[in-house]
Chain A
Amino acid sequence: MKKDDMTGISYPKLFCFLILIFILITLPGCWNRRELDTLAIVLGAAIDKLPGEEKVRITAQIINPSAMQSSQAGAMSADTEEFVNFSETGTTVFEVARRITTFSSRKLYWPHNQVLIFSEDLCKHGIDNWIDYFIRDHETRLRVRVLVSEGEAKNILEEKVTLEKVPAREIGEIVDGLAVTSIAPQTTLRDFLCRMLEDTGAPVAPLISLKEKEDGKEAKISGTAVFKKTKLVGTLDPFESRGFLFVTGKVQSGIILVKCPDSEDLASLEIINAGSKIIPAINDGKLSLTIKITEEGNLGCQMCGSDLTKPQTWQFLETEQNKAIMEEAMASVKKAQALRADIFSFGEAFHRKYPLRWNELKENWDEHFANLEVNIEVESHLRRSGQITQPPHHE
């Protein structure tokens, strides 16, 4: 054998090495290779409880790429829908998801799933068995948005939407858009799971429902679904929902309506910044809790004619704003105490501050929570009045 002077490798060995590499590459044979046109890309899934023993119906909304093709195939795509809903019933999620391939030419592909909608009915019976698959499987993502539907979840995915091509995407965008109204929490599967696993776990999810309109129906966020551990126990209306978000410091933006000083007309204030601090305390064995909410707002719009930027009226607006926030926050606390669901993670606050006493508190936390004395302090400011100071119709 001739040795290469530089490398000391003999040629036959080198050839063999190359052949081995070639075999190594080709024999596994493109393992797990999937072309784009073999995938049924799931953009949304709805899970409904069916009457009967532990039966579930899964509706997967997948895109129909050939209808998505722009320009060239225009004529063809006019009468085909951009999405297809596949529904199948069964007893476990995985089995159902797999069985969909018996009537679909493509296999469900989950990573791009945008929304996971559970029906109210299913949630009341306990959600844990139905999210197991979505947490366990490697293809599904914890970033998927979780929603609870009033009525059947499948119907939500079937309503046609106008701006987006696929309803699931539209719903996903609506959930993202909650940031500007803060009337419901934005919950991903990960958030939901984290809250569920806490000692005092009371996860929440936005509530979605179909509302009638002139031509057909449209899906709309209508509040917050409150879970206790794994079971749905009640709902918060938009007013209470924002109170909940104020308490937890998750308000990003929103509009607060307050009365003008001298009339019954309203002014709307835009929330530009909000935060909160939860301070638990135990005095003589009695549990109490102070919530400090800070907020900053701008004057967004006024319906009355008076000049609101004068110091005394400005002050008045700030006080009104304080009151409004206080009311919202209080309402949410009252509602949660009534439901005995610690959606604010007050328990965790106590746990952090009194780690040694937590074990005993934990035993009876529902009782403690329901009877918890909650003080709310709101410190809010109005900063700017927009691009004008006086209203255009000011006398």
Chain B
Amino acid sequence: MLMFRFFFRKLNYLTGLLKTKKHPKHENSGKTEGTDDLKFHRSLNRNLALIKSTLGESSDLILREFSFGSEPRINAVLIFIDGLVDKTLINESILQPLLYDTRLVGVDKEFSISGMKAITRRMLAAGEVELTDKPDEAIAHILAGDSLLMADTNSQALIINSRGWKTRSIEDPETESVVRGPREGFTETLLTNTAMMRRKLKEPGLRIESFIIGKRTRTDVALVYLQEIVKPGLVEEIRQRLRRIDTDAILESGYIEEYIEDHPFSPFATIANSEKPDAVAAKILEGRAAILIDGTPFVLTVPMLFIESFQSAEDYYSRPYYASLVRILRFLSFFISIMAPAVYVALTTFHQELLPTPLLITMAAAHEGVPFPSVVEATGMIIIFEILREAGIRLPRPVGQAISIVGALVIGEAAVSAGLVGAPMVIVVALMAISSFVIPAQIDAGTIMRLVLTVLAGFLGALGISIGLLFFLIHLCSLSSFGYPYLSPLAPFSPSGLKDVFVRVPFWAMLKRPYGLSRYNGLRQKPGLMPSKPSNKK
């Protein structure tokens, strides 16, 4: 009793500490308020000074000062950031018309009357321009790769879209390779990605809403969905959760994921990600929404259901029989990957009577002389495997091969012949490892489940495995993703949803959109599309 009170006191103290540290002052709050209503001055020099003071003496900040028009020439400056802009566009479509052509056109008179608009209308050969008088907005655009044109005696600045930095070309996505199906993957550039979505879904109802998140990174985030299919409540919920994020940096979709998920403490991901435009398009067509983030090829889709982990884009491109077989194999692999070491430990330390006699004899022979208890052997091997996997991923590719040689030879071969590890254990761990790669979406949760189950099996045998599995099952049942039950259509059960769970029925048989995610859950095709051979009647 005394001990518990002691614990309580310690814990109360700890939570007290947490509470006080909970809300440190947001360093950025209030900083921009002062400059909000600030406007550009008519004097170019003052404006220039303002911008210089804000952006400082950065080497990549280019201030190109020039004058245009016939007498009197008007002083102007073009501001952009080197490296973020398309140089040809700057030279040929902005500077050239202003420096040479203005003399022929005689734009100065019009400039004195209608200001910057005159330049926009008559001089600029650039597609996207915008007028502003707010320094804040102007600077944000400069930093995003636009160029800013300011002229003396005019308090308006012209933002010219001249973005053009080096980007990676569209490549085969490395995390989700397919044998059959599109090979293009998303890139780091948001604009390319939204364009790819447009190319997949040419429906006018495709909506792309943009957000800027992150005080310092000012990351562009786009929410993509189909107006006619998605449930309106879902979009509103996503908008609210995205707007709630008030942080300094969003560098990858993982940042967003952690700010908007339903269950921040669960080991299971409740937000899916994909690198493939076709997969994301398919999810949008089922009534989900996608969140595209600038700077990463990984696109988030919500809500996520548990069974999505077992679906692959290729299931829908290969024939239904094979796709269904593979689907079932994936479920099997998932269970092997989380349970194989645990079952092995339980069988060899508690339930030897469950093994067939010849198998027991072989296993006893293999375990002879192994100095560790099975559970230590198993957890050790799992951890070694995770280390090898991690090392294989992080190392530069040429060195990576060394890892596999060391892993295979030292762990696999030498450890067994030295008698440190039993050969069956190596087989079990290898089987588990290979199986775990079949379901990439659940690798992280699977690793945790596997360790927990193995330790429980080491303490309590099959009873421990049952306790662990029940715990995970209950946890999975309690999960939701943006309000949708994580385990649906299995729990809550929906018979029509089963058409795409353990088997994948042909497309003409999947009349409705599955899972009740979409607005009407309506027909997605005309009934009776099952093809047949031509009838003999003439």
Which of A30, A36, A70 makes the CB contact (< 8 A) with B364?
Answer: A36
| B interface residues with partner A (beta carbon < 8 Å) | 4, 7-8, 11-12, 15, 18-19, 348-350, 352-353, 357, 360-370, 373-374, 417, 456, 458-461, 464
A65 and B459 contacting across the interface, CB-CB below 8 Å:
no
Which of A12, A33, A39, A65 makes the CB contact (< 8 A) with B12?
Answer: A12
Is the C-beta of A316 less than 8 angstroms from some C-beta in chain B? no
B459 and A72 contacting across the interface, CB-CB below 8 Å:
no
Chain B residues with CB under 8 Å of A34's CB are 349-350, 352
Chain B residues with CB under 8 Å of A65's CB are 361, 364-365, 367-368
Would you give the shortest CB distance from A235 to chain B, in whole angstroms?
Answer: 30
Which of B11, B352, B367 makes the CB contact (< 8 A) with A15?
Answer: B11
Those 9 A-B pairs whose CB atoms lie nearest each other, nearest first:
A111-B353, A68-B365, A12-B11, A65-B364, A36-B367, A65-B368, A65-B365, A112-B357, A66-B368
Smallest Cβ-Cβ distance to A169: which chain B residue: B357
Which of B19, B366, B456, B464 makes the CB contact (< 8 A) with A69?
Answer: B366
Chain B binding surface SS class: helix
Which of B4, B15, B350 makes the CB contact (< 8 A) with A11?
Answer: B15
Chain A binding surface SS class: mixed
| A66 CA to B348 CA, complexed, in Å | 17
B367 and A69 contacting across the interface, CB-CB below 8 Å:
no
Is the C-beta of A41 less than 8 angstroms from some C-beta in chain B? yes
The answer to whether residues A41 and B12 also contact, given A26-B459, A109-B352 and a CB cut-off of 8 A, is no
B7 and A16 contacting across the interface, CB-CB below 8 Å:
yes
A41 and B349 contacting across the interface, CB-CB below 8 Å:
no
Chain B residues with CB under 8 Å of A19's CB are 7
Q: Kindly supply a per-residue 1/0 record for chain A positions 33-68, scoring 1 wherever the CB is within 8 Å of any chain B CB and 0 otherwise.
A: 111110101010000000000000000000101101
Which of B11, B12, B365, B458 makes the CB contact (< 8 A) with A66?
Answer: B365
Is the C-beta of A75 less than 8 angstroms from some C-beta in chain B? no
B365 and A12 contacting across the interface, CB-CB below 8 Å:
no
Smallest Cβ-Cβ distance to B373: which chain A residue: A35
Smallest Cβ-Cβ distance to B371: which chain A residue: A37
Would you give the shortest CB distance from A169 to chain B, in whole angstroms?
Answer: 8
Within 8 A of B (CB), among A53-106: 63, 65-66, 68-70, 72
Besides the contacts A41-B361, A65-B368, A111-B353, what 9 more A-B pairs have beta carbons closer than 8 Å? A1-B12, A34-B349, A36-B363, A36-B364, A37-B364, A39-B352, A69-B368, A70-B365, A112-B360
Is the C-beta of A2 less than 8 angstroms from some C-beta in chain B? yes
Which of A1, A25, A141 makes the CB contact (< 8 A) with B460?
Answer: A25
Chain B residues with CB under 8 Å of A15's CB are 7, 11
The answer to whether residues A37 and B361 also contact, given A2-B19, A16-B8, A19-B7 and a CB cut-off of 8 A, is no
Q: Kindly supply a per-residue 1/0 record for chain A positions 329-346, scoring 1 wherever the CB is within 8 Å of any chain B CB and 0 otherwise.
A: 000000000000000000
Would you give the shortest CB distance from B418 to chain A, in whole angstroms?
Answer: 10
Chain A residues with CB under 8 Å of B348's CB are 35-36
Would you give the shortest CB distance from A111 to chain B, in whole angstroms?
Answer: 3
| A356 CA to B224 CA, complexed, in Å | 84
Q: Kindly supply a per-residue 1/0 record for chain A positions 1-25, scoring 1 wherever the CB is within 8 Å of any chain B CB and 0 otherwise.
A: 1100000000110011001000001
| A19 CA to B357 CA, complexed, in Å | 40
A111 and B352 contacting across the interface, CB-CB below 8 Å:
yes
